[in-house]
């Protein structure tokens, strides 16, 4: 039996959730926390924005060196891979791209990715995939 929801999700009994038209399994990423090892802004706190597949999911979040900020398990569903990007927002200039990481939809995976695209900033983000 198949059911198709308005969100493009196809459910096949006995096969789990799959993306409509692709047959690929759906995965869910949960963003658990970000940790600032070294901040970008030399004068004040960093204002961090978190994006998943280009869509803002958190922020701006004020962060100082050494801070760990819990993200509360922000969850997004995806197929195949998902990109996670951190930006440092500046009031008087364009956002600084701290990096983008691609995470694969491997079930029951968890990990930590590093964001160090700029020489003055270093962040880690912990996540899990189900």
In a domain, 1, yes or no: no
Asked if 59 and 69 touch (Cβ cutoff 8 Å), the reply is no
73 CB neighbour count, 10 Å cutoff = 13
Question: pTM for the whole thing?
Answer: 0.78
- Residue 33 gets the label, from left (phi > 0), alpha (psi -120 to 50) or beta, of beta
In a domain, 95, yes or no: yes
In a domain, 63, yes or no: yes
Domain assignment of residue 90, given as a range: 27-129
- Provide the domain count of the chain: 1
| Each residue's pLDDT tens digit, 23-64 | 667 899 999 999 999 988 778 899 999 999 999 999 999 999
| Each residue's pLDDT tens digit, 73-121 | 999 999 999 999 999 998 878 899 999 999 988 777 789 999 998 888 9
In a domain, 106, yes or no: yes
How far apart (Å, rounded) are the C-alpha atoms in residues 68 and 66?
7
Look up the CATH number of the domain holding residue 47.
2.60.40.150
């Amino acid at each position: 039996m198949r059911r198709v929801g308005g969100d493009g999700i196809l459910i096949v009994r006995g096969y789990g959730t799959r993306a409509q038209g692709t047959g690929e399994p759906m995965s869910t990423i949960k963003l658990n926390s970000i940790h600032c090892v070294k901040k970008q802004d030399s004068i004040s706190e960093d204002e961090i924005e978190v994006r998943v597949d280009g869509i803002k999911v958190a922020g701006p979040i004020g962060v100082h060196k050494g801070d760990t900020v819990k993200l509360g398990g922000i969850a997004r569903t995806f197929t195949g891979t998902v990109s996670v990007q951190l930006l440092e927002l500046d009031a008087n200039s364009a956002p600084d791209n701290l990096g983008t990481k691609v995470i694969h939809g491997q079930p029951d995976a968890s990990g930590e990715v590093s964001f160090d695209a700029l020489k003055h900033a270093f962040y880690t983000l912990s996540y899990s995939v189900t």
